[in-house]
């Protein structure tokens, strides 16, 4: 049963569909997802079926698309490029076959060609004597736009057919699309250039084909896959659809490698299921499967209705884009402190599941979309990808829509949120305290180049936090043997070994401790420079941004990170707890960088060192002011070569660099330290 409609409501529905057609086909700026458009069209068809006296020639149900763009010259399709009817359930697909058998007056099993329905733009390619002479869009199915020059830029479209035996006149029809990888890269570059990205690959393909300058189209990563032949003169093609495509492939056209031939509608349903499971692994977007009666004589016998062939149907996948309402925005804290806005949505079925949350990425994305609480938004979900808000339906914005404000304090620990100029991501600065970041902070603190706590690996850290035994890095030094031995795969001996490793790690160096704190963008070299420059942790903690800028390799952004970190009371409290637990290091007198004996020198380490590890050698050199590089170049001052040195040694010899072995390196270290 359908809702009762009057004539005025029918006209309003037709006008709404016409507007969507105009935005999609003429402006290349669709305002609703495909699923919403399909619903409106099916609603119109249902009303006109119920009231055939209301059916008029100007109804959107009686035409295939909107008028073509006027910027290109017009081309008339000698054989119309009709659209396909859609199926949205197994029952509708079964009805499709029932109608075919009734029309053929036969119960014989039917052979079907199965092809993925590429989500792109249909085009017509005309070849005369094997040469490409004209290309057009589908337009309204009867008249399209001449986009020959743009199509010539697509590498997968042959300008001259290969092989032999082609008809004198051959029209090839196919889909131009933008692969997923190319689409993502194009949008990444667009955002970097502060330009508007495309909403989806189909929209990207359409916009690319309608560029007046073919040089622009040539820069777009477009591909074309053929799906049928149209006009054929002075020549013949096989009498099976799939054989036609195989012949076109031999003449130089791309055909879909997922194409298959099956017998019976049950096999079609099985193919639909199988390819649906593979959909997200494909390198291009598909929105359904097209099933065609494979026999061309049977196709001719079945014929057409006014707008579509009777012998083909598109079984659509669950929509990957849907409209819903944005109810609220919450801000989540990731394991590295990144603040991510999450849209709370009125639940909507999209991509095969019910979605109530979607990512908004960052504040830049919120501003780009101009999204507000209360807006009607388009949500996209593809496979296991996190659902995201891709656009706003501005025409449906309510008067009370609320502007979204980004928080200045962490919603988890109340630490300051910092966002660097030129960066999209804002982060919580409470790294040692914030519960959202605790696992990552502890893993970094215990790592080999930081506090080097042997036995405290990632899985054990996860277990300690999950069991509630550790909340901050300071808590690890309060662990007891009876607590540890109760953990899975942690016996008394393992617990004892970990406690010994914790005790051993308490004796460290100032630069290692600074690095272990996990201050953003403070790596080993920066931590060493801070230790050398200030000599004590207290002086680092109280240093102003201006004084931090006098430390080598520290610029305004890193100085801001350091200063902000030590201004957080939570972080200072954790440091005090670590000192109370016994973490210590020798205090050093500040040593101006200019006085360091290896300042300005670049070393490369290669091969195996017998008396120290490569990391120890690197730390020794950095403490003396040297830069340790991973590759040999003309700027390298010394190559330290251990046993089994390889290509780096060969390159150093070719550049006539100074090469020292381990024995000489140890002797030089003593001299440089003196």
**Sequence-separated (6 or more) residues with CB below 8 Å from residue 591:** 532, 533, 535
Comparing CA positions, the residue from 268, 380, 387, 398 lying closest to residue 35 is 380
**580 vs 148: CA distance, rounded Å:** 77
What 8-state DSSP symbol labels residue 340?
E
User: Is residue 393 within 8 Å of 32, Cβ to Cβ?
Assistant: yes
User: Is residue 660 within 8 Å of 640, Cβ to Cβ?
Assistant: yes
Alpha-carbon distances of 270 from 87, 93, 275, 282, 283, rounded to whole Å: 15, 12, 9, 18, 22
Q: Catalytic annotation on 219?
A: no
The DSSP line for 231-295 is EEESS---SBHHHHHHHHHHTT----TT-EEEESHHHHHHHHHHHHHHGGGSSS-EEEEEEEESB
Annotated active-site residue in 8, 101, 117, 215: 117
Comparing CA positions, the residue from 191, 171, 288 lying closest to residue 231 is 171
Instruction: Compute how many other C-beta atoms are within 10 angstroms of the C-beta atom of residue 72.
Output: 20
Tokens linked to 357: 């949350």
User: Is residue 158 within 8 Å of 251, Cβ to Cβ?
Assistant: yes
Tokens linked to 7: 């004539």
Describe the crossing of helices 569-580 and 556-567 by its angle, rounded to 10 degrees.
70
Tokens linked to 220: 């777009």
Positions marked catalytic: 117
């Amino acid at each position: 049963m359908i809702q009762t409609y009057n004539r005025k409501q029918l006209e309003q529905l037709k006008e709404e569909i016409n507007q969507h057609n105009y935005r999609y086909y003429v402006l290349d700026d669709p305002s609703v997802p495909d699923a919403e458009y399909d619903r409106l069209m099916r609603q119109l068809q249902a009303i006109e079926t119920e009231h055939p006296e209301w059916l008029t020639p100007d109804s959107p149900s009686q035409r295939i698309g909107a008028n073509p763009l006027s910027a290109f010259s017009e081309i008339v399709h000698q054989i119309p490029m009709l659209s396909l009817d859609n199926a949205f359930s197994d029952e509708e697909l079964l009805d499709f076959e029932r109608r075919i058998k009734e029309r053929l007056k036969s119960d014989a099993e039917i052979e079907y060609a199965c092809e993925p329905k590429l989500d792109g733009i249909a085009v017509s390619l005309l070849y005369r004597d094997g040469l490409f002479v004209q290309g057009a869009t589908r337009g309204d199915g009867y008249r399209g736009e001449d986009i020959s020059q743009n199509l010539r830029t697509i590498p997968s479209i042959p300008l001259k057919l290969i092989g032999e035996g082609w008809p004198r006149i051959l029209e090839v029809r196919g889909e131009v699309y933008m692969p997923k990888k190319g689409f993502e890269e194009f949008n990444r570059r667009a955002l970097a250039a502060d330009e508007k990205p495309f909403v989806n690959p189909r929209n990207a393909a359409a916009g690319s084909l309608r560029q007046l300058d073919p040089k622009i189209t040539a820069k777009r990563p477009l591909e074309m896959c053929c799906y049928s032949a149209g006009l054929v003169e002075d020549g013949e093609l096989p009498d099976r659809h799939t054989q036609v495509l195989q012949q076109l492939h031999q003449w130089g056209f791309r055909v879909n490698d997922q194409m298959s031939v099956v017998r019976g509608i049950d096999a079609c349903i099985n193919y639909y299921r199988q390819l649906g499971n593979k959909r997200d692994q494909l390198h291009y977007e598909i929105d359904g499967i097209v099933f065609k009666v494979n026999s061309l004589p049977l196709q001719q016998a079945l014929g057409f209705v006014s707008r579509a062939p009777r012998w083909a149907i598109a079984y659509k996948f669950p929509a990957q884009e849907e409209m819903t309402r944005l109810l609220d925005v919450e801000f989540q804290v990731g394991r590295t402190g990144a603040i991510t806005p999450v849209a709370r949505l009125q639940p909507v079925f999209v991509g095969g599941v019910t979605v109530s949350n979607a990512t908004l990425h960052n504040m830049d994305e919120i501003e780009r979309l101009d999204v507000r609480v209360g807006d009607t938004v388009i949500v996209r979900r593809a496979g296991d990808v996190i659902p995201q808000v891709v656009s706003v339906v501005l025409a449906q914005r309510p008067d009370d829509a609320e502007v979204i404000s980004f928080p200045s304090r962490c919603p988890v620990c109340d630490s300051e949120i910092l966002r660097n100029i030129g960066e999209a991501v804002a982060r919580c600065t409470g790294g040692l305290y914030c519960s959202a970041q605790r696992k990552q902070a502890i893993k970094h603190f215990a790592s080999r180049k930081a506090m080097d706590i042997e036995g405290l690996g990632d899985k054990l850290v996860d277990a300690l936090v999950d069991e509630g035994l550790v909340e901050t890095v300071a808590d690890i030094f309060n662990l007891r043997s009876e607590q540890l031995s109760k953990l899975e795969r942690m016996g008394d001996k393992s617990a004892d070994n970990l406690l010994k490793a914790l005790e051993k790690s308490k004796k460290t160096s100032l630069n290692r401790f600074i690095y272990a704190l996990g201050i953003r963008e403070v790596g080993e070299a920066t931590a060493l420079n801070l230790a050398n420059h200030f000599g004590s942790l207290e002086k680092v903690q109280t240093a102003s941004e201006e004084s931090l800028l006098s430390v080598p390799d520290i610029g305004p952004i890193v100085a801001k990170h350091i200063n902000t970190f030590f201004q957080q009371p939570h972080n200072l409290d954790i440091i005090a707890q670590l000192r109370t637990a016994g973490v210590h290091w020798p205090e050093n007198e500040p040593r101006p960088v200019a006085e360091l004996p290896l300042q300005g020198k670049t070393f490369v380490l290669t091969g195996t060192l017998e008396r120290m590890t490569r990391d120890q050698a690197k730390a020794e050199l950095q403490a003396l002011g040297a830069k340790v590089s991973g590759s040999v170049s003309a700027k390298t001052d010394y190559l330290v070569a251990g046993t089994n040195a390889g290509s780096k040694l060969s390159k150093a010899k070719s550049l006539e660099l100074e090469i020292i072995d381990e024995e000489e390196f140890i002797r030089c270290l003593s001299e440089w330290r003196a």
